[in-house]
Amino acid sequence: MDSFRRIGMGIFLMFLVVSGLKAQDFRLGWQLGGSLTQVDGDNLSGYNKFGPHVGLFVERSIGKLSLRPEFLFTVKGAKNYVNPDNIQNPLKSAFYYAEVPLFLNYRQKKWQAELGGSFGVLIWAYNRDNTGRYTTTASYNRLEWAGHLGASYFVRTDLGVYVRYSYSLDCVDGGNCGKLFTSPKLRPGYFHNVVSFGLRGYFNT
């Protein structure tokens, strides 16, 4: 129930921001895309799991800089193509998150560089192996912190394409995490490793 309260609070705050700042120089929009994901630390290597994401955002521009909070529903996870007969490790894991990223952007003509961070609330998680599918939500932290680095290209004034790289700043499985600035392969715990891409459109230009 706590996770749903946080999601509801995030939606409520987003609508407060939109309604309170609508008359000012803000741009409202939507984004739709997909992610190639893996979970570092689970012994299933490769960006084999595809997950969609969809959401809304508010963007405020100040010269070449802009600030953009987003509200996204996104699916992360991992998938194993190497050894499907090994039931000791899951063949597939999936994590359903409600995320609130905040980006600082720098635009140069039609290109834009993007840097940000986010917190996400885990709604549901499951593993699937040769024994079937089973829910694993309780095995993971309900809150994830992540860092993001990306770029956008504006096809039109009201439409752009983007790509971004995201990584968990803390382990998501409640394990004993190693220090942040060490090699991910040397840190205990599970970490989301995500490459995303998609379309971003504006309701008002």
Contact 80, 90 (CB under 8 A): yes
Q: Dump pLDDT digits (tens) for 108-146.
A: 999 999 999 999 999 999 988 778 889 999 989 999 999
Q: Is the pTM higher than 0.85?
A: no
Contact 116, 79 (CB under 8 A): no
Assigned token pair, 71: 């509200």
Q: What is the pLDDT of residue 170?
A: 85
Contact 146, 172 (CB under 8 A): no
